[in-house]
Amino acid sequence: KNDNFISISSALEVDLTGQVCTDSKGYLFYSGIGDQVDFIRGSAMSKGGFSIIIIPSTAQNGKISSIVPHLSEGAGVATTRGDIDIIVTEYGIAEMRRKSIYQRVMELARIAHPKFRKNLIEEAKKRHYIFPDQLPPTTQDLLFLDQYHYSIKLTNEKTVDFRPLLPSDEFESRHFYYSLQEDSIYYRFFNKRKVFSRDMLQKQWAQVDYRRNMTIIGLMQLGKRKQIVAIGSYAEADEDCAEVAFLVKEKLHGMGIGSYLLEILETIAKENHYKQFLATVLAENRKMLNVFKKRYPSAKFLRSGSGEVDVEMPFK
């Protein structure tokens, strides 16, 4: 009967699938399992509730990782992978609810200590949790990305949440691209692309350094899960300018998502010493050109003979 109930508890080990051990290191018991499971399942039954497992990324003075390929021999599963919502270390937050094993591996590797991330990915490959050609997440500390979370309430009362693209978003971004109409794909990529390969999408997030190159995704609750409804990026073109592009799901056009996404990208670009955006847009893509005109009244629009418009957008 308690809405918005949040359970917070700790663990000794978490494996890459989300299984949690709270009472032992291998065969050596430290405690009983306590009432963690009761609180976690209670929060799951609470309207608006969720559970959080907090664990340091390392143990034994940094010698071993607390996020492991598999639980230690003799360790018991106090909380199953099916009960987990969120796992937190000092390196970030991993959202586990309704995630596949592949997505869980990428989420947990990202919040592991940087010196163990590559090994965790290699161990996951051996167990066939992820693809053999999977790239490891960056070793840089990404806690600063927490400041790049935004949201906008639409005229239809729906909310779109924005945050940086992460490696675990690979499948969702693929679903987004395949859900778009042919014209949207053509306007964005200047060709009628039919296939969005793993190689292409891996390279997309691998090239994002979250400073000179950034990708922001917009997510909306559709059914029981959040789905990507917008993707916007900027990429370094020169020392003080970046090329910008974005896509919004067609049924959400005209609701201000593109303009808001452009504002977010500009804010982050300014922090990273850019002074203007550049873009190349097909002349018939009037919606995109109008978004740029509205945001940058002093923008320069230079039409080429090939039906493209080069846009220069200095920041205020």
How would residue 182 be classed by pLDDT, with cut points 50, 70 and 90?
very high
**What phi and psi values does residue 278 have, to the nearest 5 degrees?**
-120, 155
pLDDT at residue 3 is higher than 80: yes
pLDDT at residue 224 is higher than 80: no
DSSP string, the chain: --TT-EEEEE-SEEETT--EE-SEETTEE-S--TTHHHHHHHHHHSTT-EEEEE--SEETTTTEESEESSPPTT---SB-GGG--EEEETTEEEE-TT--HHHHHHHHHHHS-HHHHHHHHHHHHHTTSS-TTPPPPP-S--GGGGGG-EEEE-TTS-EEEEEE--GGGHHHHHHHHHHS-HHHHHHHHSS------HHHHHHHHHT--SSSSEEEEEEEEETTEEEEEEEEEEEEEETTEEEEEEEE-GGGTTSSHHHHHHHHHHHHHHHTT--EEEEEEETT-HHHHHHHHHH-TT-EEEE-TTSEEEEEEE--
Q: In this predicted structure, what is the pLDDT of residue 230?
A: 97
Q: What does the buried/exposed string (b/e) look like for 279-310 if buried means 16 or more CB atoms within 10 Å of the residue's CB?
A: bebbeebeebbebbeebbeebeeeeeeeeebe
- Closest by CA position to 258, among listed 298, 283, 229: 229
pLDDT at residue 69 is higher than 90: yes
Could you report the per-residue pLDDT of 266-312, keeping only the tens digit for each? 999 999 999 999 999 999 999 999 999 999 999 999 998 789 999 99
Distances (CA, A) of 139 to 118, 186, 269: 8, 35, 22
pLDDT at residue 1 is higher than 80: no
* Least-confidence region, from 116-120, 192-196, 233-237, 289-293: 192-196
Could you report the per-residue pLDDT of 23-42, keeping only the tens digit for each? 988 899 988 878 899 999 99
**What phi and psi values does residue 58 have, to the nearest 5 degrees?**
-130, 165
User: Which pair of structure tokens corresponds to residue 233?
Assistant: 């990026």
Task: Decide yes or no: CATH 3.40.630.30 for domain 148-314.
Answer: yes
Q: In this predicted structure, what is the pLDDT of residue 265?
A: 98
- Expressed in angstroms, the distance from the first to the final Cα of the chain is 51
Q: In this predicted structure, what is the pLDDT of residue 123?
A: 97
pLDDT at residue 79 is higher than 80: yes
Pairing of strands 159-164, 241-248: unpaired
Q: In this predicted structure, what is the pLDDT of residue 278?
A: 97
**What phi and psi values does residue 208 have, to the nearest 5 degrees?**
-85, 115
How would residue 238 be classed by pLDDT, with cut points 50, 70 and 90?
very high
How would residue 225 be classed by pLDDT, with cut points 50, 70 and 90?
confident
Domain residue spans in the chain?
6-126, 148-314
How would residue 95 be classed by pLDDT, with cut points 50, 70 and 90?
very high
Q: In this predicted structure, what is the pLDDT of residue 262?
A: 97
Q: In this predicted structure, what is the pLDDT of residue 306?
A: 83
Q: In this predicted structure, what is the pLDDT of residue 86?
A: 96
8 Å CB contact between 311 and 280: yes
8 Å CB contact between 66 and 90: no
Task: Decide yes or no: CATH 3.40.50.80 for domain 6-126.
Answer: no
Tell me how far apart the alpha carbons of residues 267 and 260 are, in angstroms, rounded to a whole number.
11
- Closest by CA position to 81, among listed 103, 62, 63, 64: 103
pTM of the model: 0.86
Tell me how far apart the alpha carbons of residues 159 and 299 are, in angstroms, rounded to a whole number.
30
Q: In this predicted structure, what is the pLDDT of residue 202?
A: 86
**Average model confidence (pLDDT) across the chain:** 93
